[in-house]
Amino acid sequence: MTANQPVMNNDVSPTGEWNDSLAGDFLWTNANFAEAISDVMTPCTWSMWQLYIDQVIPVQLPGNCPMAGNIGGRPYLNLSVMASFGRVFGAKPRDTLRRAESMFGRIPEDIEIPTVPISLGMMLKTFLSGLSLIHI
């Protein structure tokens, strides 16, 4: 399932709903996450999941752009980030995501793929700083 939605926002709305899609324009998917966490997460599950993601993907993207988020209590991955990384190396966002279809599903042709502004230098700096945080 994909959703072209606006990102990770650590504030809960006045209604109590947690919806990271409200903080920016991103393409989200919960493909493969839905199998691992098949129901709405409890606050404890979400806290543990955030800790896990921080260990697995220990990078902080510029502008607090999240790699993953919580939409309606379910975990989502930010495909706009992946598409943007491909763009840095000269690939079209759609072509980058097409290479990952077996993992995240096919993006319909009529869905716009928003990207985030990131340069090669910024991406390398972000990932190299993240490598120092990995505990082996």
Cα separation, 101 vs 122, whole angstroms: 26
> Cβ of 136: how many Cβ atoms within 10 Å?
2
Task: Parse the chain into domains and list their residue ranges.
Answer: 2-131
| pLDDT at 43 (0 to 100) | 87
Q: How confident is the model at residue 134 (pLDDT cuts 50, 70, 90)?
A: low
Cα separation, 46 vs 34, whole angstroms: 14
Q: How confident is the model at residue 130 (pLDDT cuts 50, 70, 90)?
A: low
pTM: 0.76
Span 5-40, pLDDT tens digits: 333 444 555 555 678 888 789 999 998 877 888 889
Span 54-87, pLDDT tens digits: 877 777 776 778 888 899 889 998 999 889 989 9
| pLDDT at 79 (0 to 100) | 92
Q: How confident is the model at residue 3 (pLDDT cuts 50, 70, 90)?
A: very low
3-class SS letters over the chain: CEEEECCCCCCCCCCCCCEHHHHCCEEEECCCHHHHCCCCCCHHHHHHHHHHHHHHCCCCCHHHCCCEEEECCEEEEEHHHHHHHHHHCCCCHHHHHHHCHHHHCCCCCCCCCCCCCCCHHHHHHHHHHHHCCCCC
Average pLDDT, integer, range 29-52: 86
| pLDDT at 121 (0 to 100) | 86
Cα separation, 113 vs 43, whole angstroms: 30
